[in-house]
Structure 1
Amino acid sequence: MAYDTSSRIAIVGGGCWGISTAYHLERAGYTDITVFERSAELPSPQSAANDLNKIVRAQYADDFYTDLGLEAIAEWKKEDWAPYFHQTGHLVLLSGYAGEKAKGIFEGAAKTAQTNPKLSPHVTKLSGPEEMREYCWQLTGPLTNFRSYFNRSEGYAHSANAVKGIGAKLVKRGVKFVLGPEKGTVTSLVYAGDGRRCTGVKTQDGTTHNFDLVVCALGAYGASLVPKLGTFSVARCWSVAHIQLTAEECDVLRGIPVVNAMDLGFFFEPDPETRLLKLTPLGAGYSNFSGTTLLQNTSLPPLASGDVGQDAALANYVPEADEAQMRRLLRETLPWLADRPFVHKKVCWFSDSADSDYCIDYVPNTDRSLIVLSGDSGHGFKMMPVFGKWVRELLEGGSQTNPRWTWRNVDPAKSGADWGGDVSWRFGEAAETSDIVKERKTKEAKM
C-alpha cells in the first residue's frame, strides 16, 4: 500500500525509537500520528531510555555504524537535540585484569581509532596513569596496568530528558499521545478478515483504534505484540547502579569524560539535578527464557511475560558478580567511592540481535501495514536524532533496501537459543534472570 502524509499512523511505544520516528514523520509533513505508551508520562519506567545517560560515540569496528554515529553526533548538536548532549569526551580504558578476548578487542579498537581518518583527528593514545589524568585528573586510583586512549568528539546524552523534551515538542506540533495503563497499553494488533493486513490496535480499556499503518517500537517488549519477532530479537538486560553524592562531590566530578573500561564497566559525570553517579558493568547480560509464561522459547522482560513475581524480585537489586565488577572499577579509578552504598539498582532491558544489527522493516505477509523496530543491541539510543529518518525512508520507499536491517526468518528449531555469550564485542557468559532471583532469595534467607 502507498502512504501519503494524511495516512493514519500509530506508533506503539514512546521510547527513544518511537519518539524519533514520530519526530521525523512530523517533520516530513505527516499530519495524523498517534503514539501509544503504557506509562502515564514520558519516559516510561519500562523504557531503556528511562535513564540518566547513555554513551554517544561514533567508533565501531564497522565503518557502516561509524558513519551513522558521526551523523547522529552532528544532529545531537542541533537546536532540538543540543540541550541533552554533553561532549565531555570518551576515555576508553582496558584494565590490567583483562582476559585475552578483551585485550584483542581493545587493541583492535585502539588501532581503528588511530587510523580511521574520520576518527583519528579527535583521538589521543595515552601511556600510563599520569597521561590518563591529564584528561581526567579526578582518577586518583592506581589504574594498575591500564591502557587507554581518549576521543574528544564523543560523550553522552541525558536519555530520559531527551525522550521527555522531544515528546513535549511533538505535542506542540500536533502529534497525539495516548498515555496510561488503560488507554495507552496496546494489548493486541487488529487484522483484516484475511488475517494479513494490520488495520489497527486494541488497548487495555477494550477500545479498537483504526489506522493505515502500525509501527511497533516496543524494544525488549516487542515480541509480546509481534511473537515472531522473538525468534531473532532477544530481550536482554544489564545491571545499573548509582551512588548518591553530595553537592560538593558533584562539583569534584563535574565535566569528567565518559570513563569506559571495556572489560569492567563505565560511568559518567554525575547528574547535577539528582546528584547521582551512574555505573554499569560490562558483560554478556541476562535473558529471560526460563521465566517466560506467555510465549514459549522467547525471552521477554518479566512484566511482558506475565511473571510479576520475578519482576518484583529484580527490583532494586544487582547480582553480586556485577557489584564486585563495579567496585573493582571504582577501586582502580575513584577509590574514595569504592565502598559507598549503591542506590537505585535495577536491570535495564534491551532488544538484542545476534549480529548487533537493527531491524527496521515491514513484518512479512502483512501487506506493508506493520513495521517493527527492534534489535537495538545496546547501541540504539545514540542514534535517536537520526533513527526516525530511516523509518521514514522505509515507509516512503516501500521496502527495506539495507540487508542488515531486514526482518530475519529464523529456523523455528533454532529459535529460543541464547547466543548472548557469543557476541564478538562482549565478555563473559550470558545468564538468566532466574539466576539473579535465586541468588537474591538465597542471600536474603541467610540474613
Structure 2
Amino acid sequence: MLQKDSDIAIVGGGAWGLSTALHLTRAGFSRITIYERAEAIPSPYSAAYDLNKIVRAEYEDPFYTKLALEAIEGWKTPLFGPHYHQTGYVVAATGQAPPKAVEHLEKALSTIEQDPVFSPGIKRLNGAKDFKEYTWQYSGPLTGFKGYFNRLAGYAHSSNTLQAIWEHVSTIGVRTYLGEQAGRVVGLVYEQQKKRCVGVRTADGKVHSADVVICALGAHGASLIPELGRSVVARSWSVAHVQLSEREADFLRGIPTTNVRDLGFFFEPDPKTRLFKLCPLGIGYTNTGKNGISLPPSDVLPPPQDFIPKDDELKLRQLLRETFPWMADRPFVDQRLCWFADTRDSDYCVDYVPNTDNSLICLSGDSGHGFKMMPVFGKWVVQLLGEGRQTEQRWQWRASTGTDANWGNSVSWRIGEGAELSDLIEAKSKLLRARL
C-alpha cells in the first residue's frame, strides 16, 4: 500500500503530468517530484504548448461525453476558470463534405441533442443564414454549411493553463527539476533481482529514487518505455496562425470555436499576441523508425518548422474563403507540427506497466482529445494508486495493436490520408528546389 509520504516521480510536465501532481497533492501525497526536459513550463515538448484547445463534450461514445462534462465543471473552478472561455461551439460540414464527416457530425450531435444538460443550448443550423445568427462576423459564403451550435463548449488557453497549474502545485510542495541535464530523464532504474522500477536517471548522471514512477511523456513515452510503442503511435497534426491587427482581433473577439469537419477548426484570436490559430483536420503524420516505433524528432524544433504540408494549407485556405475571405490570402506564421500519442480506438492508457510490481505507471494515448480532461485527469491516477490496478478496462495496458501506424485512417472523426514525416521533409525540399 502506497503511503502518503512515498516518493512519487512524475516524468513530464505537460497537461497530464501536472494534473496528476495536482490531484496527488489534493489526496494528501507530500513527496512529489516532476522531471521536465524543458527549461521552463509550459514545455515546448508538450502537446499543450499551444494557444488554445477545444473544450467540448460531444462524442460518439457517451462514456467520454460523461467524463468531458465533469471536466467542463472543473474548468469553471477558480483554479482553471481564468483560462476557460465558453464561447460556444459551432460544428459544420460543407456542401462538399464526404459522407464520413457528415456521419460523425450527426453521431456526435445525437449524444447531446436530447440530453437535458445540453439540449437547451443546442441549435441545429441549416445554411448560411442560420449560421450567421451565431457567427455574424463570418463574411464568407458558408457554402452548403449544415451543422449545429452548442452553447456548453468553447476552448481553454492551454499554455497559460500549464503555467498556472505548475505555479500552483509548486507553492504547495511539488518539486520540479527542469532542463536538458537535471530535468531530462534518460532512463528508468530497476532493481537487479526483480523488475521493479525504483527511480529515474537524469541526463546529468544522477539517480533519483522513487517508490512509484509515473511516465507522462505523451508522444515521447516510448522513448522510456519501448513496449508502449506497440500500442501507442506518435502522430502529429499541422498548426498555423494568421497575425491580425489590434482592430481585426477586436472584431473577431468572442466568435464561437468553429470546427468544419471536412476542412479544419479555429478559435477567437489570442488577445495578447493577436494570433488567429487554425488547424486542418486529417489523419496526421508519423515518424516511424527502423524498429517500427513512431516517436517525435528529438529536437525541440523538429523539421519541418515554419512549414505545413501543401494539402493542409489548401484546406485552411478553403476554410478561410468560406468564413473570412479577407484573411484567405494572408501569410501563415508560426507553422508547425503538434505531436500527440495516438491509439487505434482513441482510448487512453492509464495503467501500471505489466511486470513492474505496481511501481511504474504509464499515462498515454491522449489521441488528440486529452487536454480537455486536465481538470479531472489526475483523479483517475489517484484512483489507480488506491485500487492497485486499473478497473476501467478500456484504459488498461495493451500489449500490442499491430505495427501498421496507418490505422489512423479508420478513426471515425478523421478525414483524409496520413503520411510519414520523412515524406513531408522530402516534399518541402522539392518545393524549395522548384523555387530556385
The verdict on a shared fold, with TM-score over 0.5 as the criterion, is: yes
Distance 2:135 2:171 in 1: 41
Q: Is the 8 A contact 1:59 1:119 kept in 2?
A: no
Structure 1 residue aligned with 2:191: 192
Question: Sequence identity of aligned pairs in percent?
Answer: 54
Cα distance change of structure 1 residues 243 and 417 upon mapping to structure 2, 3 Å threshold? closer
Q: Residues 304-315 of structure 1 correspond to what in structure 2 (within 5 A)?
A: 312-315=302-305
Measure the CA separation in 2 of the matches of 1:198 and 1:223: 16
Q: What is residue 323 of structure 2 aligned with on the other side?
A: 333
Q: Does 1:420 align with 2:420?
A: no
1:89 aligns with 2:94: no
The residue identity in structure 2 corresponding to 1:402 is E
Partner of 2:423: 435
1:231–1:416 CA contact under 8 A, matched in 2: no
Question: Which residue of 1 is the match for residue 246 of structure 2?
Answer: 247
Residue identity matched to 1:250 = A
- The structural deviation recorded for 1:435 is 1.2
RMSD (Å) for aligned C-alpha atoms: 1.3
Opposite residue 240 of structure 1, the aligned amino acid is: V
Number of aligned pairs?
435
The unaligned stretches of length 5 or more in structure 2 are none
Equivalent runs, 1:41-120 vs 2, <5 Å: 41-120=40-119
Alignment CA distance shift 1:417-1:257 (3 Å): closer
CA contact (8 A) 2:60 2:104 kept: no
Alpha carbons of structure 1 residues 330 and 426: separation in structure 2 relative to 1, 3 Å = same
Distance 1:41 1:167, change over 3 A: same
Partner of 2:276: 277
- The answer for the alignment partner of 1:211 in structure 2 is 210
- Give the 3-state SS of the residue equivalent to 2:132 in structure 1: helix
SS in 2 for 1:341: coil
Query: Corresponding residue for 1:382?
Result: 372
Q: Deviations over 1:28-57 (max 9, x none)?
A: 111000000000100111110100000000
Using the size of structure 2 for normalisation, the TM-score is 0.98
Residue type of the alignment partner of 1:355: D
Deviation digits for residues 170-210 of structure 1 (CA, Å, limit 9, x no counterpart): 11111000001110000000000125100000000000110
Amino acid of the structure 2 residue aligned with 1:251 = D
- Whether contact under 8 Å (2:58, 2:109) holds in the other structure is no
Counterpart of 1:349, as a letter, is W
Aligned-partner Cα distance in 2 for 1:107–1:164 = 36
Residues of 2 paired with 1:119 and 1:367: CA distance? 43
Displacement of 1:112 in angstroms is 3.1
CA distance in 2 between counterparts of 1:200 and 1:51 reads: 31
Deviations 1:237-260 (A, max 9, x none): 000000000100010000001011
Asked if residue 257 in structure 1 is aligned to residue 256 in structure 2, the reply is yes
Contact 2:93 2:102 in 1 (8 A): yes
SS at match of 1:313: coil
Q: Is the 8 A contact 2:62 2:111 kept in 1?
A: no
Counterpart contact for 2:286–2:405, Cα < 8 Å: no
CA positional deviation for 1:409: 1.7
User: Which moved further from structure 2: 315-324 or 415-424?
Assistant: 415-424
CA contact (8 A) 2:138 2:323 kept: yes
Structure 1 residues 312 and 20: alpha-carbon distance in aligned structure 2, compared to 1, 3 A threshold: closer
Quote the residue 1:352 is aligned against: 342
Cα distance in 1 for residues equivalent to 2:404 and 2:99 = 29
Equivalent residue of 1:135, what SS? coil
For residues 110 and 398 of structure 2, the distance between their equivalents in structure 1, rounded to whole angstroms, comes to 32
Q: Which residue of structure 2 lines up, in the alignment, with residue 238 of structure 1?
A: 237
Q: Any conservation in 2 of the 1:123–1:149 contact (CA below 8 Å)? A: yes
Secondary structure class of the residue paired with 1:134: coil
Deviation of 1:107 (Å) = 2.5
Work out whether residues 299 and 416 of structure 1, in 8 Å CA contact, stay in contact via their aligned partners in 2.
Answer: no
Q: Which amino acid aligns with 1:406?
A: Q
Q: Which of 417, 432, 435 does residue 444 from structure 1 map onto?
A: 432
Question: Are the aligned partners of 1:259 and 1:266 in contact in 2 as well (CA < 8 Å)?
Answer: yes
Deviation at 1:109, TM superposition (A): 2.6
Classify the secondary structure of the residue corresponding to 2:133.
helix
- 2:68 aligned counterpart, secondary structure: helix
Q: Is the 8 A contact 1:75 1:385 kept in 2?
A: yes
In the alignment, what sits opposite 1:124? 123
Q: Please tell me whether the aligned partners of residues 189 and 199 of structure 2 are also in contact (alpha carbons under 8 angstroms).
A: yes
The CA deviation string for residues 188-239 of structure 1, in whole angstroms up to 9 with x for no partner, is 0000012510000000000011010000000000000000000000000000
Q: CA deviation at 1:113?
A: 3.2
> CA shift at 1:78, angstroms?
0.5
Q: Which amino acid is the alignment partner of residue 187 of structure 1?
A: V
TM-score by length of 1: 0.95
Please state whether the residue corresponding to 2:268 is helix, strand or coil: coil
